[in-house]
Amino acid sequence: MNESIRILKEAVQNSDNIVFFGGAGVSTESGIPDFRSKDGLYNMKYTYPPETILSHTFFMQNTGEYYRFHREKLLHPDAMPNKAHLALAELERRGKLKAIVTQNIDGLHQKAGSVNVLELHGTCSRYYCLSCGKVYDREILLSSDGIPLCTCGGIVRPDVVLFEESLDQSVIERSVNAIQQADILIVGGTSLNVYPAAGLIRYYNGDKLILINKSETAFDGQADIIIRESIGETLDAVL
């Protein structure tokens, strides 16, 4: 076992207040493309760039085209949790991990059994009616074509944060609290270049900031341990 992973394992054994902060790299091992990687979502050919399609204005004006993209590129109904998701769920069951803060919208942490998951950008697992507020799960998309409609006739939208929309303030506050109180903060699968990730990491006060990412991150200079291995293999080895 690599020395950094051995040190991480020892730290995890001695802690019951770990917080994990994750990005797209956590789910690439489940076959979900990283938004910003070379062959990821942002470089795929579509009529409009993904940043446009995934905006509030576009959703309201071109709902059908939005859903065509959502169904094809965001939904991933067959994706399964990988070793990273499963290891984090196990750490929570053992009373060691207090929260997962994620930028992902794929719902794989919950699918793996994690309970306290703070989804900064919302989730593709939940939908609601723009007219009456009725809440739906992903089944409404799997059992319909085109634009999903509520029983009241209203348009149903995903509970994800689109561009031009603000993040849920209560999710931010709970994330800040968890990170501030954490004794180990493990950050994985994100380069930390994108808002709000970098801002949230700054709330960490401890001396065990662990970065697991295959490439450099904006916080490498502040990390106590940097691991450039697969996140799934690393977290699995830590258990």
Cβ partners under 8 Å of residue 77, min gap 6: 138, 142
Q: How far is the CB of 63 from Zn ion (least distance, A)?
A: 15
Q: Is 150 in the site for Zn ion (CB under 5 A)?
A: yes
Q: H helices of 144-193, where? A: 169-181
CB of 133 to Zn ion, least distance (A): 7
Instruction: Give the nearer residue to Zn ion in terms of CB position, either 155 or 198.
Output: 155
Q: Which of 131, 193, 205, 222 binds Zn ion (CB under 5 A)?
A: 131
Task: Give 47 or 131: the residue with its C-beta nearer to Zn ion.
Answer: 131
* Residue 116 per-residue DSSP state: -
Kindly state the smallest distance separating residue 150's Cβ from Zn ion, in Å: 3
Sheet holding 225-227, edge to edge: 117-119, 97-102, 18-22, 184-188, 209-212, 225-227
**According to the binding rule CB under 5 A, does residue 135 interact with Zn ion?**
no
132 interacts with Zn ion by CB under 5 A:
yes
Q: Is there binding between residue 140 and Zn ion (CB under 5 A)?
A: no
Q: Quick one: which segment of 10-18, 125-133, 209-217, 225-233 binds Zn ion (CB under 5 A)? A: 125-133
129 binds Zn ion (CB under 5 A): yes
Closer Cβ to Zn ion, 154 or 196, answer by number: 154
Which residues does 196 contact at the CB level (< 8 Å), separation at least 6?
120, 167, 172
Q: Quick check: 128 binds Zn ion (CB under 5 A)?
A: no
The count of chain residues that interact with Zn ion, using the rule CB under 5 A, is 7
Establish if 147 lies at the interface with Zn ion (CB under 5 A).
no
- Residue 149 as a binder of Zn ion (CB under 5 A): the answer is no
CA distance 113 to 86: 7
CB closer to Zn ion, 60 vs 132: 132
Residue 154 binds Zn ion, judged by CB under 5 A: yes
| DSSP 8-state code for residue 43 | G
Cβ 22 vs Cβ 227: under 8 Å: no
Closer CB to Zn ion, residue 129 or residue 179?
129
**Torsion angle of C-alpha atoms 90, 239, 206, 1, degrees rounded to 10:** -160
Active-site annotation holds for 56: no
| Beta-bridge mates of residue 211 | 187, 226
Q: Which region among 6-14, 124-132, 174-182, 217-225 touches Zn ion (by CB under 5 A)?
A: 124-132
Distance CA 166, CA 155 (A): 20
Distance CA 138, CA 89 (A): 22
What residues line the site for Zn ion (CB under 5 A)? 129, 131-132, 134, 150, 152, 154
- Residues designated as active site: 121
